[in-house]
Amino acid sequence: MFLAFLVHDPLAGTLMLLALLWLSAKLGGELAVRLKLPAVTGELAVGLALTALHRAWPLFPEVAASPAAELLGGLGVVVLMFAVGLESTVPQMLKVGVASLRVALIGVGVPMAAGLAGAWLLLPKGSPFVLDLFIGACLCATSIGISAQVLREKGASDSMEGRIIVGAAVVDDVLGLLVLVAVSGMVASAAPSVGPGAGPGAAGDAMGSNLAWTLLLALGFLAAALTLGRLVTPRLFQLASRFRGEQVLLPLGLGFAFLLAWLGSLAGLASIVGAYAAGLILEPAHIEDLERRERHTLEELVHPLVTVLSPLFFVLMGAKVDPSALFKPATLGFAAVLALLGVAGKYIAGFGGGAGTRAAVVGWGMVPRGEVGLIFVAAGAQLQLNGVPLLSPEIQAGIIGALLLTTVAGPVGLGWVLRKG
pLDDT digit string (tens) for 258-270? 988 898 888 766 6
pLDDT for the residue 199: 47
pLDDT tens digits along 327-370 = 778 888 899 999 999 999 999 998 988 877 888 989 998 888 76
Tell which residue, 108, 43, 98, 32, has the closest CA to residue 373.
108
Could you tell me if residue 416 is inside a domain?
A: yes
Does residue 42 form part of some domain? no
Three-state SS for 206? helix
Would you state the pLDDT for residue 336? 92
Radius of gyration of the chain (CA): 22
Instruction: Note the pLDDT tens digit of each residue in 208-250.
Output: 565 566 667 777 777 787 777 777 777 777 776 666 666 777 8
Query: What pLDDT digit, counting tens, does each position of 59-100 carry?
Result: 788 887 888 888 888 888 888 888 877 876 677 666 767 888
**pLDDT at 372 (0 to 100):** 67
Q: What is the CATH number of the domain that holds 160?
A: 1.20.1530.20
Q: Return mean pLDDT, the chain.
A: 78
Q: What pLDDT, in 10s, does the model give residues 23-51?
A: 999 999 899 888 877 777 788 889 888 88
pLDDT at 29: 87
Q: Number of structural domains, the chain? A: 1
Better-scored residue on pLDDT, 344 or 10:
344
pTM score, whole prediction: 0.71
Q: What is the pLDDT of residue 415?
A: 83
**Helix axes 393-420 and 329-349, enclosed angle (nearest 10):** 40
Q: What is the pLDDT of residue 228?
A: 75
In a domain, 65, yes or no: no
Closest C-alpha to 404, from 320, 328, 345, 330: 320
24 within some domain: no
Name the nearest CA neighbour of 396 among 138, 178, 111, 49: 138
Does 33 fall in a domain?
no
Domain residues for the domain of 365 are 71-189+199-306+343-420
Please tell me the distance from the alpha carbon of residue 235 to that of residue 294, in angstroms, as a whole number: 19
Alpha helices in 154-283 (DSSP H): 160-189, 202-240, 249-266, 271-281
- The model's pLDDT over 135-161, given as tens digits with 9 standing for 90+, comes to 888 888 787 777 777 787 777 777 888
Is 46 within the bounds of a domain? no
Q: Cα separation of 284 and 385, whole Å?
A: 51
User: Is residue 376 a part of any domain in this protein?
Assistant: yes
Q: Alpha helices, DSSP H only, in 35-128? A: 39-56, 67-86, 90-95, 97-122
Question: Residue 94 falls within a domain, yes or no?
Answer: yes
